[in-house]
Amino acid sequence: MKAVIAAALALLALPAAAACPEPAEVARLAGAIVDRRAPPPPVQGMDLADAACARDRLVALLAQPWGDRVGWKVGLTTPAAQARFGVPHPLAGAIFHGTLRARSGAEIPAGYGIAPAIESDLLVRVRDEGVNEAGADHVALLRHLDQVIPFLELPDLVHGPATAWSGPLLLSINVGARLGVVGEPIAVQATPDFAAALGTMQVALTEGGREVSRAPGTALLGHPLNALSWLVADLRAQGRRLRAGEYVSLGGFSPPLPVRAGQDYVATYTGLATDPVSVDVRIR
């Protein structure tokens, strides 16, 4: 890991904002995340611009062991999550090749992260770059997507529940992106009916057969595709664009729950397709 960090530091000669963590500080955090050991104390005094700088430095390091970035995750997509972190809008983090490697039915060790958690989520795959000009119209956005995919996100909240969390701190750890479990893709239909189904579907998460959360599609910013249009605007403000083949994790329908060894977790989506569809993982 030391060799990886040393090599990646050479790539991080970025202009720093006043409170953007120094590359060496970010390298220590990256080493702790990859090695799953106690992280250094959180950096204090960051604003969102500083935290975005920290995120980008961290992503450059994590892409070494976890694989290239393959898309983005949108976090804080519910009013409760935004209130908890004191930010009135979502935040975006990178997802990696390793994030999407596990398929439904996989077994994942309980200690995959420092502070591992689980939440029901939903992925979309970008068909073409026209998504960047599609605006907020749901059917227009669907024309530039080719798959909707059931997804169990397995984030690593790194600093743990006892931390004095803030929006900048969450952004600085790349919104906690780590692992996920991918279900069977559903072909996108660029129709008003398909768009409506995304909003009215019910998403239930069970742990060991016991339902622990349930939410409609509208739980994500009023409609899951609103998270996508927010991300496009956020990336545009940074001079970035979504690319064909990239994935977007649209946000958690359930709050992050600590994972428990020996438990099976299943997310079931009712109303999205003709029959309910699901994605599951066993935590060992």
Give the CATH number of the domain where residue 178 resides: 3.90.850.10
What's the pLDDT at 186? 98
**Is residue 51 domain-resident?**
no
What's the pLDDT at 254? 85
Backbone angles phi, psi at 244, to 5 degrees: -60, 135
Q: For the chain, which residues score pLDDT lower than 50?
A: 1-18
Interatomic CA distance for residues 169 and 159, integer angstroms:
9
Per-residue model confidence as pLDDT tens digits over 104-155: 999 999 999 999 999 999 999 999 999 999 999 999 999 999 999 999 999 9
**Is residue 117 domain-resident?**
yes
Backbone angles phi, psi at 174, to 5 degrees: 60, 35
Show Cβ contacts of residue 275 under 8 Å, excluding neighbours closer than 6 positions. Answer: none
**Is residue 31 domain-resident?**
no
**Is residue 21 domain-resident?**
no
What's the pLDDT at 103? 98
Query: Is the separation of the CB atoms in 220 and 78 below 8 Å?
Result: yes
What tokens appear for 8 in the block? 């990646």
How many folded domains does the chain comprise?
A: 1
Looking at residue 40, the DSSP 8-state letter turns out to be P
Query: Is the separation of the CB atoms in 228 and 250 below 8 Å?
Result: yes
**Is residue 45 domain-resident?**
no
Helix (H, G, I), strand (E, B) or coil at 109: coil
Quick one: CA dihedral 220, 223, 226, 227, positive or negative? Answer: positive
Its domain, for residue 206, covers 68-283
Interatomic CA distance for residues 179 and 272, integer angstroms:
24
What's the pLDDT at 162? 86
Look-up of token digits 């994500």: 220
**Is residue 189 domain-resident?**
yes
What tokens appear for 223 in the block? 């409609």
What's the pLDDT at 34? 97
**Is residue 4 domain-resident?**
no
Interatomic CA distance for residues 44 and 195, integer angstroms:
42
What's the pLDDT at 12? 44
**Is residue 33 domain-resident?**
no
Interatomic CA distance for residues 27 and 55, integer angstroms:
12
Tell me the CA distances in angstroms from 44 to 125, 164, 221, one per residue in order: 36, 10, 29
Torsion angle in degrees (nearest 10) through CA of 9, 15, 16, 18: 160
Interatomic CA distance for residues 149 and 199, integer angstroms:
15
What's the pLDDT at 144? 98
pTM of structure: 0.92
Backbone angles phi, psi at 272, to 5 degrees: -80, -40
